[in-house]
Amino acid sequence: MTNNKSKKILIAGGTGYIGSHIAVILIERGYQVFIIDNLINSDIETLDRIEKITGVKSDFENIDLADKKQVDKFFKAHHSFDAVIDFAALKAAGESVNMSKEYHDNNVNSIVYLLDAMKEYKINNLIYPSSACVYGDPDSLPVREDMEIKKANTPYGETKIIAERLIKKVCIDNSDFASIVFRFFNAAGAHDTGLLGELPKGVPSNLIPFVSQTAAGIRDELKIFGNDYDTDDGYSVRDYIHVVDLARAHVIAVEKLLGANVDKNFEIYNLGVGRGYSVKEVVDTFERVNKIKINSKIVDRRSGDIAEIYADSSLANKELGWKAEKNLEDIVSSAWKWEKHLRGIN
């Protein structure tokens, strides 16, 4: 059995929503975790939350992976990592439509500089979170990993396509380098303790934190972007996956790469629950499970939004032994538990 205590994992963007949940599971399994983040869309207090859950204080440095000088300086001082998980990216698809240069500069430069540093210091295991955005507006559902990648609907999606290609090229050029890329769908929910969850800065771009903030009185109303889509109830449909299920998949990927049981050194997997829920279904479920009414208003669609997308995750089920265990009820109840903890609501 691998001695996890001797294994050191770098999580870039580790004070962010998903990265912090991965850190918790890795620490609980005995790994050494080193977190870097520029704190643009996260909170330094997340480190205290991780420590409160795990009893372990993580190493941390404030590093911007899109700044080559900072990256070079960091890896020169710290490079004894067994694997890297890279969540250092701007991630709001809608926002990226009006900030295409910022998204390209941040998301593409950061992966380029990271890959260069990993090559220089012979760090050969990378887990990269891509996105369902790479599928654009798919011709059929559910989407599979072998489906054609067309032009993304948003600059955010395009940065993920570019990153995937860069990583694949490194894997082709260097047989010692291995990467698992996850195309995941809509991460939602919070840690079971209610001590860790999604905490966007400013107005949330994701549905469930907006619903939770509306329920908590932080927002006056939930803005629903369109109810005239070609779907069963007219509302857009997405595959919502619990953040803890997502985190588990990344830990399984770490264990696969470090266990040296990789058949090929570049693999892509979808992570989703395998069915879609409309915005209306999500809001109705939140109200029913948490016994609270949400004030909402229909507004115009957002640029780049598609009608419907959900995953075929059977490849991850088969090859990684991973499967989503939590459902929509778990997502909305844990999200509200976290929101109440955050706002001091009984």
Show which residues are catalytic.
156
End-to-end CA distance of the chain: 44
Contact 82, 9 (CB under 8 A): yes
* CB 269 within 8 Å of CB 183: yes
Strand pairing category for 222-225 and 186-188? unpaired
* The two structure tokens encoding residue 258: 């470090």
Query: What is the C-alpha to C-alpha distance for residues 89 and 109, in angstroms, rounded to an integer?
Result: 10
What letter would DSSP give residue 302?
A: P
What span, in angstroms and rounded, lies between the C-alpha atoms of 54 and 191? 12
DSSP assigned state of 237: E
Residues 6 or more apart whose Cβ sits within 8 Å of residue 141: 276, 308, 309, 310
What's at 342, amino acid-wise? L
- Long-range contact list for 5-9, CB < 8 A, 24+ apart? 5/30, 5/31, 5/32, 7/31, 7/32, 7/82, 7/83, 7/258, 8/32, 8/33, 8/34, 8/80, 8/81, 8/82, 9/33, 9/34, 9/81, 9/82, 9/83, 9/84, 9/85, 9/254
